Amino acid sequence: MKVAVYGAGNQELYVNKLRLPETYGGAPPYGGSRMAIEFAKAGHEVYLAEPNRNMLTDEMWKVVEDAGVKVVSDDIEAAKNAEIAILFTPFGKKTFQIAKNILPYLPQNAVIANTCTVSPIVLYSMLEVDLRTKRKDVGITSMHPAAVPGTPQHGHYVISGKATDGTCYATEEQVNKCVELAESAGKKAYVVPADVSSTVADMGSLVTAVALAGVLDYYTVGKKIINAPEKMIEKQIIMTLQTMASLVETSGVKGLLKALNPELLIRSASSMHLLKDQKDLDAALEILSNLNDDLKKEMENAEIKPTTLVAAQSLVKELETLMGGAAAKGAIKRSMRKLFE
Amino acid sequence: MIDRILADLNRTEGIKGSMVVGKDGLVIAAQLPSNIDSELVGAMASAAFGAAERTAAEIGQGKLEQAMIESEFGKTLMTDAGEGILVVLTDAKVNLGLIRISMKRAAEKIKNAF
């Protein structure tokens, strides 16, 4: 398989600031260059596009080149040979710019895969005009390492498949190619809906894990102890998550904190300690009881901005009824893009 | 290709500008006066066309052929162009028949260009 990896990875960050060799283990180079090394060792023809030679030391470049990786400084040269183009590039605008630049030069049916710096849905929306007119053959997915490549924690890739609304940003064949590439490098491949991939693979997976534990705790208590109807439990979960998400969107974390009032929340949530073993609730109550003074001060000064608490799926149905599926989809896409702009 | 179709269309007397947007409002091509935000107008056109389409269907008037917004200083005409919507802005007093014929021809060409 012909693969291009864009971006060698910031070794100054990995080695000197995060001190990965000491804290996580593994050996430099980390990041995109390590991905390139692993794919080359798996027998693929790999290009690593990195315009900044200073990203790696000479010794590290030697490791890369000895593995059989072709290092180039020209993004387009790498694109011409890429069945899979993996963007391990800086967060945001730079990544979109590189993707736009390489798109016309990619071979027929190539696939662009994001890593950790942008959601595949947002990447698609930035390239959408060209993808819908000039390059309908090119797919968008992810090859998200969900850990720093080169550390022992990196044993998997999160690959984006069909989105939860049924939209395919890449063909099944393109997704399978990514799975094949991941597995050939000895990694487990998780194919998840494209619009879910960031939630389970990005740094925000910390929030996902803790919130999911809370959801499951309430679900268990609600079912086993309170004997509440499942629909009622689910509606309360929806209300809670929607409220928190909407407040973060309008007022930030500090505004959320102010609106939820930790002191009150501790009193209310303590009464939901109905099982002997509710470790997540114990931990949450302890954390909320011991907020540091700086955070408390910031909370006091925070502003709760006007917020519309809306059940998103119900709103989508209403939009579809009023203006049809395509126009509603466009409105949703634009609002999502605005969130990330 | 679509740009050329719009350029030809814009030569019709009374037309101030035109654009092609996807049914979801994505701007495919636009040749509009410089003071108009094409992305915003594209999104609005898709919402207006979609709502008109839904209304026509709901009251049993079948498939929507064209929608028009008639305002003090001009008209906005929207017509189905396959995967997209052809949007045309005109002066207030125009020969609508001529413009409709031009739009119909352009829409056919746009359908083939997608």
* Contact yes or no for B54 and A322 at CB 8 A: yes
The 10s digit of each residue's pLDDT in A292-337 is 999 999 999 999 999 998 888 889 999 999 999 999 999 998 888 7
Selection from A211, A156, A166, A148 nearest residue A187 by Cα: A156
Range of the domain at A111: 2-201
Output the pLDDT for position A341.
66
Contact B50 A334 (CB under 8 A): no
Task: Give the orientation angle of helix A279-289 with respect to helix A205-220, to 10 degrees.
Answer: 120
CATH of the domain at A245: 1.20.120.1300
User: How confident is the model over A135-144, as a mean pLDDT?
Assistant: 96
**Helices A58-66, A32-41: crossing angle, 10 deg rounding:** 30
What tokens does B12 get? 């019709």
Is pLDDT of A117 > 90?
Answer: no
Residues A79-90 have a mean pLDDT of 94
Overall domain count for chain B: 1
Q: Determine the distance in angstroms separating the CA of A325 from the nearest CA of chain B, rounded to an integer.
A: 8
CB contact under 8 A, B22 and A132: yes
* One domain for residues A89 and A238: no
> Considering A201, A232, A263, which residue would you say is the last residue of a domain?
A201
Over 90: is that where the pLDDT of A118 sits? no
- pLDDT tens digit at each of 114 positions of chain B: 899 999 999 999 999 999 999 999 999 999 999 999 999 999 999 999 999 999 999 999 999 999 999 999 999 999 999 989 999 999 999 999 999 999 999 999 999 887
What is the Cα–Cα distance from B68 to B87, expressed in whole angstroms?
A: 10
A331 contacts on B by Cβ (under 8 Å): 25, 43, 47
Answer with the one of A183, A201, A219 that is the final residue of a domain: A201
What number is the average pLDDT over the span A228-235? 96
- For residues A149 and A213, state if they share a domain: no
- CA torsion angle A261 A256 A299 A268 (round to 10): 10
Cβ contacts of A27 within 8 Å, gap of 6 or more? A21, A150
* Chain B touched by A310 (CB under 8 Å): no
A134 Cβ under 8 Å from any chain B Cβ: no
pLDDT of residue A94: 87
pLDDT bin (cut points 50, 70, 90) of residue A93 is: confident
Q: How many domains does chain A have?
A: 2
Per-residue pLDDT for A82 more than 70? yes
Q: Which whole-number Å values give the CA distances from A39 to A32, A48, A153, A267, B5, in the listed order?
A: 11, 11, 17, 53, 46
Does one domain contain both A241 and A101? no
Q: Are strands A188-193 and A156-161 parallel, antiparallel or unpaired?
A: parallel
On whether both A181 and A244 belong to a single domain, the answer is no
Same domain, A86 and A11: yes
How far is A333 from chain B, CA to nearest CA, in Å? 9
Q: Residue A133 has what pLDDT?
A: 87
Same structural domain, A39 and A14: yes
pTM: 0.80
- Which structure tokens are listed for A142? 């992810």
Task: Identify the pLDDT of residue B32.
Answer: 96
% of chain A beyond a pLDDT of 90: 85
Q: Residue A187's CB: how many other CB atoms inside 10 A?
A: 20
Question: In this complex, do A327 and B49 lie within 8 Å of one another by their Cβ atoms?
Answer: yes
A177/A29 same-domain check: yes
User: Which residues does chain B have within 8 Å of residue A323's beta carbon, measured at their own beta carbons?
Assistant: 46-47, 50-51, 54
Q: Which two tokens stand for residue B78?
A: 């929207």
Query: What pLDDT digit, counting tens, does each position of A186-205 carry?
Result: 999 999 999 999 899 988 89
CB burial string A289-309: b at 16+ within 10 A, e below: eeeeeeeeebbeebebeebee
Q: Does residue A96 sit in the same domain as residue A29? A: yes
Q: Which residue has the tokens 């910390």?
A: A206
Query: How far lies B80's CA from each of A223, A304, B4, in Å?
Result: 52, 44, 18
Q: Do B26 and A132 touch (CB under 8 A)?
A: yes
- Based on the domain organization, do A80 and A196 belong to the same domain? yes
Indicate the pLDDT class of residue A91, thresholds 50, 70 and 90. confident
C-alpha dist (Å) from residue A275 to A2, A213, A272: 54, 15, 9
* Statement: residue A246 has pLDDT above 70: yes
What pLDDT shows up at residue A148?
94
- Give tens-digit pLDDT for A8-46: 999 999 999 999 999 999 999 999 999 999 999 999 999
> Residue B48 sits in a domain of what CATH number?
3.30.450.30
Residue A332 lies in a domain: no
Residue located via tokens 């593994």? A26
Do A140 and A158 lie in one domain? The reply is yes
Residue of chain B nearest A126, judged by CA positions:
B26
- Interface contact flag, B23 A327, Cβ < 8 Å: yes
Q: Same domain, yes or no, for A152 and A247?
A: no
Choose one of A201, A222, A254: the last residue of a domain: A201
ipTM greater than 0.90: no
Instruction: Look at residue A202 in the predicted model and tell me its pLDDT.
Output: 85
Beta bridge partners of A71: A48
CA–CA distances in Å: residue B72 to residues B14, B37, B78, B91, B92: 15, 19, 18, 9, 7
H helix or E strand, kind and range, residue B40: helix B38-58
Q: Say if residue A188 is in the same domain as residue A208.
A: no
